[in-house]
Amino acid sequence: MPVMNGYEAAENIRSISSQVPIIAMTADVILGVRDKCEQSGIFHYISKPINPDHFIQTIKDIILENEPNIEPDTAVLDRQLGFKNMGGNEELYNQVLIEYRNENQDTLDKLEAAVREKRYAEATQIVHKVKSSSGSIGAKSLQAVAALLQKALNEEKENEIVPLQDRFSKLLGKLLEELK
């Protein structure tokens, strides 16, 4: 871009609003690009060449995240993506899903208590853990909402925390149901 790069543009957008969805589309697959995107406020990342199914699912997830009154009829878990993330190893993927479900049985209660008591650093750690593992298993919509919630918690933006926590809780709850 002639005036600024994508990271600078995202930072400018984030200075105005934390709610605007930004998707990075790049052929840059160098390690650390995803982290740099997140640091700049870009929480959705699509690498080239573009997988049309993944692209469409990402857009659907973003729309659902930003329309809290829409009930998603799609699953939170994209098993194909999760399976791919596990190198196509079905046994490993199933073990990871079981571990994910077991580790997150009381996550919502812990998060609710931490937010209620304004222990935002603790709440941030809880959300960060879910964000990382959700992406790995193929729960991209949950990962995206977790990234927004983590940012709001880090910045102690109380007016954003409650609605994001509600969306996060609904998605995580639905995902845990899917994993039963």
Instruction: Give pLDDT tens digits for 49-76.
Output: 888 877 877 777 777 666 654 455 578 8
24 exposure class (CB count in 10 Å sphere: 0-12, 13-18, 19+): buried
With a cut of 50, list the residues of the chain below it in pLDDT.
69-70
Question: At which residue do the structure tokens 């998605």 appear?
Answer: 171
Quick: pLDDT tens for 24-49. Answer: 887 766 677 777 877 888 877 777 78
Could you tell me the two tokens for 25?
């589309």
pLDDT of residue 35: 78
pLDDT of residue 70: 44
pLDDT of residue 113: 96
Counting every residue written for the chain, the total comes to 180
pLDDT of residue 153: 94
